[in-house]
Structure 1
Amino acid sequence: MTKIEKFHRPKVVVIGGGTGLPVILKGLRNKNVDITAVVTVADDGGSSGVLRNYINVVPPGDIRNVLVSMSDMPELTLDIFQYRFDSSDSFFAGHAIGNLIIAALAEMKSGVFEAVQELSKMMKVKGHVYPAANEPLVLNAEFFDGTVISGESEITSAHSKIKRVWVTPSNAEDGHQASAVAEVIEAIMDADQIVIGPGSLFTSILPNLMINNVGQAVCETQAEVIYICNIMTQLGETDAMTDADHVRILNQHLGRDFVNTILVNTKEVPEDYMDYHKWNELSKQVVHDFNGLREQNVRVISNDFLRLEDNGAFHDSKMVVSELMNRLHAASGILK
């Protein structure tokens, strides 16, 4: 790995989706780093799914949350952007205002990538927010029983063991493959650090890496690739999987051992604290397999990364970001 030159502002690319990505971005945004968030576009549930079905727009929900996490706009303005209608109107019910704005701008700018760049300026975003692709993608999964299902929400609700996933354009009649725009690939290749996760392994993280040129760039970049392992297993996705299994799945999907470092939480989640009814997608705490990680030549950083909140288990943004900065410091010898 190349050393980060003196006075160089480190470039950190964070790849993922779901609720985990904004947590890390909030912690990074006040550090002296150049942040790029690469956000999944394969979601088909909730408000995002409805908008996608109406106007075939890239699902905006994950993008909306990332924009808010990196924005310098006043809190009230961000609250309005995040506001979700609770009226009984057959169209507006359940939609977040920000989703509607992103969908409108995507139509105005003839694509979500340019729309997000325009919105980033309006929202005073610190860094860059790049949709993983400029078109909506369909997530496909093959299960160990041979069943094949398409659609992120359908895959999640199947509650069956996933063998592999891949993505296809939602309008693939012309036979073209999913690909990321040049800016995404350039960011990955120029990065000093690539952060993957935390997030749902098969439905938030791998959809990005299964875009051919994204996966290739992550394998070829000189940056350190760091995987933030989930604290809890996810029902129907990663049941009974260890942290080494997570890395093994990632490596198998890209055909090589590309994960350099993993962050794993070692603090035990109190069994009587978790509300499994409220967080019904969670199952049990991820089991550690340090020998399995070493066999894959992965550097292990273990610490108390646990944040208990609202009867759920989450990553402590401050602790995670501190370790990410330590890795940049180790690469440069000069960063604080």
Structure 2
Amino acid sequence: MNKESKEKGPKLVIIGGGTGSSVLLRGLKKYTSNITAIVTVADDGGGSGKLREDLGMLPPGDIRSCILALADTEPIMEKLLQYRFQEGSLKGQNFGNLFIAAMNEITGNFEQAVKNISDVLKVKGTVIPVTLENIILIAELENGEFVRGESQIPIVAKEKQQRIKRVFIDPSKVAPHQDAIQAIQEADGIILGPGSLYTSIIPNLLVDGLSDAISKAKGVKFYVSNIMTQPGETDCYTVIDHVKAILNHVKYSNRNSMVEYIIANNGSIPEYLLQKYREDGSTMVIYNNDKRLKKYPYSFIVDDFVEIKKDYVRHNADKVARIICNLIKEKKLAKEELSFTGSII
């Protein structure tokens, strides 16, 4: 698709963070330049967590992944920004995270740092932290135990063999980034997922005003289900289990208007790769095509969305993006035809 067509493409908002969002963003940017990624800032593990603790800044990891996914950079620059130090005091730290940290120190403002780096890397779209306030993610397990810290939640849940009952944030009241709210209000399409259910997607919805804005938005609303479960987080979850978890974390009045279309995979995965995932405690997310689904007010888009990259299961981002953009276009044309009341002369 040429540059002019992309500039006229649908306004899309993707809400999440991490690998899931970055994979899909690479597909979406082929069809439109009007993309806003709203990204969680609850990460407290790895290099991001260390920078957060040492410098008192918001965690840069998920922001970095989404910026790179939308960036128009040379391969060597992407390799540099994804490089993780192997030795010394910087071992485990990501150069891209340090780049954001340095820009944060220069500007004294995380929001401005993200904007400046987006300009440097010629990002096609906008990356926005869901809030500029410091938040901690906490989970309540089914045994009543509480786990504090995003990075610890799946670890402890797996060790204790306990499902996550709910997650919440501390402090419980935090202001959303107003650009995120505006982007949702103006969007032609709003996409939740794919990505870590309790640690990438739901944390965004816990920020004041986010779920309200999605519920009231006129854009077409999608949930892109994960292909594989995540150990300690979504063990044995079906597609509907994922959706129910999302709805259980928003206001009751918002539930029926948070999701319209569910994109789910029914493609297969090579046995050798399934075995590798099983060894890590992960299995395929099951789409149960049975009568029980009829009670849910959603439309299901089910297809083979599997793509294998370096022995990792990923979504075929181009296929998902094409379906989303085509559906938005079709609905927009149908609405225009219905609203046309004039006469042709």
Answer with 226-235 or 73-82: which moved more.
Answer: 73-82
Matches within 5 A, 1:226-265: 226-254=222-250, 255=252, 256-257=255-256, 258-265=258-265
Show CA shifts across 1:181-227 (max 9, x none).
Answer: 11010001111100111101111110111112112211111111100
Name the counterpart of 1:166: 168
Contact 1:132–1:208 (Cα < 8 Å) also in 2: yes
Q: Residue 192 of structure 1 aligns to which amino acid in structure 2? A: D
- Equivalent residue, structure 1, for 2:294: 294
- Answer yes or no: is the 8 Å Cα contact 2:265–2:287 preserved in 1: no
**One-letter code of the match for 1:286?**
V
- Aligned pair in 2 of structure 1 residues 121, 319: CA closer, same or farther (>3 Å)? same
Q: Relative to structure 2, which stretch is displaced further, 109-118 or 257-266?
A: 109-118
Is the 8 Å Cα contact of residues 9 and 31 (structure 2) preserved in structure 1? no
Deviation at 1:107, TM superposition (A): 2.9
Q: Is the 8 A contact 1:142 1:163 kept in 2?
A: yes
The more displaced of 52-61 and 107-116 is 107-116
Does structure 1 conserve the Cα–Cα contact (< 8 Å) formed by 2:58 and 2:110? yes
Shift of 1:271: 2.9
The whole-number CA distance in structure 2 between the counterparts of 1:232 and 1:295 is: 25
- Whole-Å separation in 2 of the counterparts to 1:230 and 1:206: 14
Q: How far off its partner does 1:157 sit?
A: 0.2
| Matching residue of 1:44 | 44
- Residue 148 of structure 2 is aligned with which of 147, 150, 158? 150
Distance in 2 of aligned mates of 1:15 and 1:52: 22
Please point out which of 170, 177, 188 is paired with 2:173. 177
Hey, what does 1:225 align to over in structure 2?
221
Q: How far apart in 1 are the matches of 2:167 and 2:260?
A: 22
- Residue 189 (structure 1) aligns with: 185
Work out the CA distance in 1 between the residues paired with 2:31 and 2:9. Answer: 10
- Aligned-partner Cα distance in 2 for 1:103–1:131: 15
Counterpart of 2:205 in structure 1 is 209
Counterpart of 2:108 in structure 1: which amino acid? Answer: S
Larger of the two Rg values belongs to structure = 2
CA contact (8 A) 1:141 1:148 kept: yes
Contact 2:67 2:118 (C-alpha < 8 Å) held by counterparts: yes
Given that 1:274 and 1:311 are in contact with CA atoms closer than 8 Å, whether structure 2 keeps it comes out as no
Is 1:95 aligned with 2:97? no
The match for 1:283 is 282
Give a deviation string over 1:133-180, Cα, whole Å, max 9, x none. 1133211111111111110111010122001111224xxxxxx82221
Pairs aligned (count): 319
**Aligned-pair CA distance for 1:278:** 9.6
Q: Distance in 2 between matches of 1:204 and 1:268?
A: 25
TM-score, normalised with respect to structure 2: 0.87
Give the CA RMSD over aligned residues: 1.9
Q: One-letter code of the match for 2:180?
A: V
Verify the 8 A CA contact 1:64 1:99 in the aligned structure 2.
yes
In 1, Cα distance between equivalents of 2:213 and 2:13: 12
Counterpart code for 1:307 = E
Structure 1 unaligned residues grouped into runs of 5+ = 1-6, 170-175
The change in CA–CA distance for 1:95 and 1:198 in structure 2 (over 3 A counts) is same
Gap regions ≥5 residues in structure 2 = 1-6, 335-345
2:163 is matched by which residue type in structure 1? Answer: K
Over 3 Å counting, the alpha-carbon distance change for 1:10 and 1:145 in structure 2 is same
Whole-Å Cα distance in 2 between the matches of residues 271 and 137 of structure 1? 40
Instruction: Quote the residue 2:34 is aligned against.
Output: 34
Q: Which has the higher helix share?
A: 2
Give the distance between the partners of 2:163 and 2:152, measured in 1 at CA. 13
Quick one: percent identity of the two aligned structures?
A: 37
